[in-house]
Amino acid sequence: MKNVIVIYRISDHSNPEKIKPQYATKENCLKTLVREFGSEHLYVVCDNVSEQTHIMVKKYSNNIDLTNNGNTGTFLYSWRKAYDITKNMSDDTIVYFVEDDYIHCRNSKNVLIEAFDLLGAPYATLYDHPDKYQDKNDIRFKWGHGKIDIDDNGVRKPLNVYAHGEDTVVYASKSCHWKLTSSTTMTFATSVKNVREDMDDMIKLHTGKNLPMGGSTFKLLAKKGKGLISSIPAYTAHAEERWLPYFRNWQEEATAI
């Protein structure tokens, strides 16, 4: 199986407005990642963490950097780190940038590899963001951070179904479908080749910004002919009640052995 280099960013800070499921603790999220991707090629950037968090992370990785860069600074630090540690690796090696509030499904590593080996994706995410299926102009749509959708026997499903969605192209790999999507959060994968080619653009776009520029990042890459695909259904979830992906039991995935 092809190696996947994982650059994991963790901090003790988070947006207090975002409502997290109780099962999506920092440790549970890291544990699901290690369960699927292993720890051999895992590099963790601990930014502004407590001693307690540092001790927790050391249970899962020996490759730890302690930093004090803030959100966007940590993203750029991670990109530079990926650039440095992959200098002697082949262009098609996969680099996976991961934030600390993601739950990974079983078989997610195999699925991610398929995006590159079978579909030749420039960039890929395992997060099928619910906002791509919602219509902000519909009177039923509501902003906010709390839970909107429903759980049916533990499986997250949409409360409202909109006859609306982003225009896209759909592909099939061995394990699931994929779609071309306009953006995702800052948890995504690419090749070593793109880490090298796109580093200067990432630095230019993000320098001086308080938060990583998710939408702008993928608009910039699309202009370079580097599209982003996402798996259908999701194989990872941004662990926020408002935006948990559909058709998965995320508590079951978060606690699976």
Residues 213-235: pLDDT tens digits? 789 999 999 999 999 999 999 99
In the chain, what are the domains?
4-255 (3.90.550)
Q: Coil, helix or strand for 219?
A: helix
Predicted local distance difference test score (pLDDT) of residue 1 = 61
* Mean per-residue pLDDT, 165-172: 96
pTM > 0.85: yes or no: yes
Residues 68-123: pLDDT tens digits? 999 999 999 999 999 999 999 999 999 999 999 999 999 999 999 999 999 999 99
Q: For residue 21, how many other CB atoms are within 10 A of its CB?
A: 18
Predicted local distance difference test score (pLDDT) of residue 2 = 75
The share of the chain scoring above pLDDT 90, in percent, equals 91
Question: In the predicted model, is pLDDT for residue 58 greater than 90?
Answer: yes
Asked whether 151 and 157 are in contact (CB, 8 A), the reply is yes
Q: How far, in Å, CA of 122 to CA of 186, rounded? A: 15
- Cβ burial 170-206 (10 Å sphere, 16+ → b, else e): ebebebbebbbbbbbbbbbbbbbebbeebeeebeebb
The share of the chain scoring above pLDDT 70, in percent, equals 100
Quick one: which H or E segment has residue 34? Answer: helix 26-37
Asked whether 53 and 14 are in contact (CB, 8 A), the reply is no
